[in-house]
């Protein structure tokens, strides 16, 4: 392709046809299971986690494909759509297991009482606790599936969690079950609760959920903190190795094809050298640079390369 300045900064309106997006930036987003290239040792770690029914804790810099591992495993083992729990400093175990909208239920009850007091029709009103309950991503992962297979769950960037969250997870990871207190105290013995990111429901008896097959769980960490030993011993741990030139070329070919118009040899060498100097870079930055700098007539390609391969700092 030939470089074209779509935006020119002169304030003139133009009928511009934008180019096709890079394969990894097309929406709606699709799984990258075909493009992911596992580094040496990862296949063995995944199989150990699958065989032992243990979570897989992946450590490594941002942008090295850790979160894509679960997509490839879920596809190869036919585990269905990947459930995702994106960790923040406010994430709690309860929200990951289930969510109960108590305030919404109270508001609905007040509206029903107001209609009743004013003589309004309340025959269609109901107070069903199931309308205000939903499993979270971890809770859904523990719900038995109709096929009997385990589900796949990504717990992304667990480094960002509150200090207590890894310890809070211990009992669930060990026992594979949990209780919903609001249902355990409820008069009805069996209640249908909606699954995460789905309209499907599952029947919960006496407020307890127990998995039949422990889910395949991938936890990702950027290596920014330490975890309790009790948490670590429940995981299969794998650290993503520093990429080699051969590995990077395989990744580039997987995303862009092996055509000569995407030859990024010089960029790969520069990328590796900078990583060895301790700079923080992500592989998707390399893909961006190879993709754009392969175009013809790129003005000031050195400046564009520096822009795309800028170190991942706040500066």
Domain range list for the chain = 42-105+123-239, 243-308
Residue 289 contacts residue 251 (beta carbons within 8 Å):
no
Q: How much is the average pLDDT of 247-264?
A: 78
- Average pLDDT of span 263-280: 91
Residue with tokens 């770690």: 45
pLDDT of 4: 77
Q: Are 136 and 96 in contact (CB under 8 A)?
A: yes
Q: How confident is the model at residue 128 (pLDDT cuts 50, 70, 90)?
A: confident
pLDDT score, position 294: 82
Percent of the chain with pLDDT over 70: 94
**230 sits in which H/E element:** helix 229-232
pLDDT of 163-208, one tens digit each? 999 999 999 999 999 999 999 999 999 999 999 989 999 999 999 9
Ramachandran category for residue 218: left, alpha or beta (phi over 0 → left; psi -120 to 50 → alpha): beta
Rounded mean pLDDT, 59-83: 93
Contact 294, 19 (CB under 8 A): no
Displacement of CA 301 from its chain's centroid (Å)? 34
What does pTM read for this prediction?
Answer: 0.87
Structure tokens, 264: 């990024």
The answer, yes or no, to whether residue 239 has pLDDT greater than 90, is yes
Nearest to 248 by CA among 214, 287, 278, 216: 287
Of 22, 132, 32, 146, the closest CA to residue 82 belongs to 32
According to CATH, the topology of domain 42-105+123-239 is Rossmann fold (3.40.50)
Contacts of 182 (CB under 8 A, 6+ apart): 100, 129, 133, 207
CB 283 within 8 A of CB 61: no
pLDDT score, position 274:
95
């Amino acid at each position: 392709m030939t470089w074209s300045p779509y935006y020119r900064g002169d304030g003139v309106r133009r009928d511009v046809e934008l180019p096709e997006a890079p394969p990894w930036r097309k929406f709606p987003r699709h799984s990258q299971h075909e493009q992911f290239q596992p580094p040496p040792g990862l296949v063995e770690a995944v199989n150990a986690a699958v065989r032992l029914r243990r979570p897989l804790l992946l450590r490594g810099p941002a942008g090295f494909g850790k979160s894509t591992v679960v997509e490839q495993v879920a596809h190869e083992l036919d585990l269905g759509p990947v459930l995702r729990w994106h960790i923040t400093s406010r994430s709690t175990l309860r929200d990951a297991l289930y969510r109960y909208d108590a305030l919404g239920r109270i508001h609905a009850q007040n509206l029903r009482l107001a209609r009743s007091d004013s003589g309004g029709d309340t025959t269609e009103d109901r107070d069903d606790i199931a309308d205000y309950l939903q499993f979270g991503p971890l809770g859904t992962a523990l719900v038995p599936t109709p096929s009997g297979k385990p589900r796949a769950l990504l717990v992304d960037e667990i480094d960002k969690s509150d200090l207590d969250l890894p310890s809070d997870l211990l009992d669930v990871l060990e026992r594979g079950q949990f209780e919903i207190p609001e249902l355990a105290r409820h008069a009805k013995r069996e209640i249908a609760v909606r699954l995460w990111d789905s309209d499907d429901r599952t029947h919960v008896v006496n407020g307890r959920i127990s998995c039949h097959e422990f889910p395949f769980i991938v936890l990702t960490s950027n290596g920014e903190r330490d975890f309790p030993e009790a948490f670590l011993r429940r995981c299969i741990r794998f650290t993503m190795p520093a990429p080699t030139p051969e590995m990077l070329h395989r990744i580039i070919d997987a995303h862009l094809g092996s055509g000569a118009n995407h030859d990024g040899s010089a960029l790969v060498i520069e990328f590796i050298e900078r990583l060895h100097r301790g700079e923080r870079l992500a592989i998707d930055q390399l893909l961006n640079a190879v993709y754009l700098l392969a175009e013809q007539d790129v003005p000031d390609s050195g400046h564009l390369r520096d822009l795309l391969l800028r170190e991942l700092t706040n500066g």
